[in-house]
Structure 1
């Protein structure tokens, strides 16, 4: 690896590696988000799609296909499919979470309304299924349809678990597997499937995506308490203010004494938050080493992602995916 490569973030190297393919993917996205009869659809979609996201999930599909030697263009359709599913879930999530900001910009539901966000999300889900059908692979359809159902299931589970201080780490992991890791693992698995890879290779690609997605989400949860808001686009403590029970909080609550549990019940379950509560919450996270233990969990999942890659054919892109699994955790360590 050159010094130039070493200084570049892994997703930037992936973007450079797949620049021609991603141009084709972006052209597909623009073409398929068009609507002759409802101009609001491309307006709302473009606001989110053109907001400067890293396009990480579609690049994972292209990367997986490349590692497996694929040379056609169905990987581009699947990459666009994955991005549409991701964008649809973001539109729906922002309505559910009553969010006002996404990637440092006002959310679609704030600029337009909740109805528009939900309906345009539905439109993108429909477009995603049209794209995946065009590959002619029932197995691809099965994988991505299952992922879409799992994402929705994870979101519904989060509704009931996120403000209940009895929520366990096992339930948290189930939520994360649904809302984040399901699309990562589907994105990598279908890249192998479309290339005709063996079950062992597609299984390893699934395991990599699953572990990467979990590490990614845990790291994001950590950044909420110790990140740089200028880089993350979120204010420190947003999850606490929104009463989301993420892994650091779950770990601290598990070790809480009765006085501390009363604090968590008031601030998370009842939502009665006042000045100084965020600082006290962060102090409790430090007291119980919740941030350090959460980071260790993220590092463990990154190591699982690396182990899965070891089962894949040697390829320069495989090395980039290894760097990526390290980077998602290095953001917070």
Structure 2
């Protein structure tokens, strides 16, 4: 989901508050994505890293560490590692999904090729583990390495659930907990652990990150049907054309009558999509309340995250993270 809305942007306020830290993170990213022997690695990485992303996940790591009183510099390593994990997954995802656009620009697999995208993604995963081990904190290494495994599990589960009309909401949430929320959660948890925060604060920040990530993905899936290419940075209806069982579709199928189920079976299971089908899908989702229920789910997850955040001591950073959770779902209110 793009956060480039013209409204007030809490992530920009967060970036300003953490500007010195994030400048140091950017330096590390530039150093560690370099390769003397394979110049294509920094070329491919720079194309995606420099595509206008907001560095939200590494900012969460830095913010969590600062919120818990950390005064060292290893949070920069963790933040850079988080950004590399995220970038690697995007490179791999675009190959798997055969995507042609990312953040409003051609994908790396389109500009170069699938092999380059996969191998550069692998390189970034390796670099991320080097950055983690620099901290000499075994628990932090465990958190981020576990998140990397969970992300892959989520992607594989999504493959197995794709185009299957029996996919349940439970399975959907397992998928997005893996593919999206796991890294959000690990980002905030790792920052708190690095700082030596009390376990109650670690757990609160971990849960905040997970809820934020889930809300983030549910909004993304909903806006795929309701937004526009300029806002999303990808083509509207891509999930429909790729026959993905996202929450709006799962809810619509569960509520469909016989005629509706026949439509979903044709366009999702059989892949027989015709002109006007996207518009008809929208009509069905609107008529049976699937879009509104998805909206309510996203708002609920954002509220859940903010409730966990409220358990931490009050501070300007905490208020910014609270505003961020609200902003993720702001366009749905």
Name the structure 1 match of 2:323. Answer: 323
1:222–1:332: 8 Å Cα contact kept in structure 2? no
2:11 corresponds to 1:47 = no
Which residue in the other structure is 2:212 paired with? 212
Q: Deviations over 1:91-132 (max 9, x none)?
A: 000000000000000000000010000000000000000000
Mean Cα deviation higher: 309-318 or 94-103: 309-318
Match of 1:250 in 2: 250
Rounded to whole Å, the distance in 2 between the matches of 1:331 and 1:91 is: 28
Match runs of 1:187-198 below 5 Å: 187-198=187-198
Match of residue 301 from structure 1: 301
User: Who is 1:278 aligned against?
Assistant: 278
**1:237 and 2:243 are equivalent in the alignment:** no
Aligned match of 2:3: none
Give the structure 2 partner of residue 169 of structure 1.
169
Query: Hey, what does 1:34 align to over in structure 2?
Result: 34
SS at 2:332 equivalent = coil
- Deviations 1:206-264, CA, capped at 9 Å, x for gaps: 00000000000001111111113212112221110111111000000001112111111
CA contact (8 A) 1:140 1:190 kept: yes
Q: Tell me, yes or no, if structure 1 residue 78 matches structure 2 residue 78.
A: yes
C-alpha separation between the residues in 2 aligned to 1:252 and 1:81?
38
**Structure 1 spans left out of the alignment, 5+ residues:** 1-6
User: 3-state SS of the aligned residue for 1:176?
Assistant: helix
- For 2:74 and 2:237, the matched residues in 1 are separated by 41
Distance in 2 (alpha carbons) for counterparts of 1:243 and 1:13: 37
Name stretches of at least 5 consecutive residues in structure 2 with no aligned partner.
Answer: 1-6
Task: Calculate the TM-score normalised by the size of structure 1.
Answer: 0.97
Name the residue aligned to 2:263. 263
Paired positions, count = 328
1:291 maps onto 2:291 in alignment: yes
Counterparts in 2 of 1:90-101, with a 5 A limit?
Answer: 90-101=90-101
Q: Does 1:314 align with 2:314?
A: yes
Mapped contact 1:188–1:205 kept (Cα < 8 A): yes
1:116-135 matches, within 5 Å, as 116-135=116-135
Residue 331 (structure 1) shift: 2.3
Distance 1:149 1:142 in 2: 11
Report the counterpart of residue 3 of structure 1 in structure 2.
none
> 2:191, 2:300 → 1: CA distance?
25
The residue number in structure 2 matching 1:113 is: 113
Root-mean-square deviation over aligned CA pairs: 1.0
| Structure 2 residue 50 is the aligned partner of structure 1 residue 63 | no
Q: TM-score of the superposition, structure 2-length normalised?
A: 0.97
| Paired residues of 1:155 and 1:179 also in contact (CA < 8 A) | yes
Instruction: Kindly provide the CA deviation profile for residues 45-100 of structure 1, in whole angstroms up to 9, marking residues without a partner as x.
Output: 00000111010000000110111011111111100000000000000000000000
* Correspondence for 1:4: none
Q: Please name the residue that 1:202 is paired with.
A: 202
For 1:22 and 1:290, the matched residues in 2 are separated by 39
CA apart distance, 1:8: 2.9
Q: Quote the offset at 1:35 in angstroms.
A: 0.4
Q: Distance in 2 between matches of 1:245 and 1:298?
A: 17
Q: How far apart in 1 are the matches of 2:90 and 2:113?
A: 14
Q: Give the Cα–Cα distance (whole angstroms) in 2 for the partners of residues 197 and 262 of structure 1.
A: 54
After the TM superposition, list the runs of 4 or more consecutive aligned residues in structure 1 that deviate by more than 3 angstroms: none
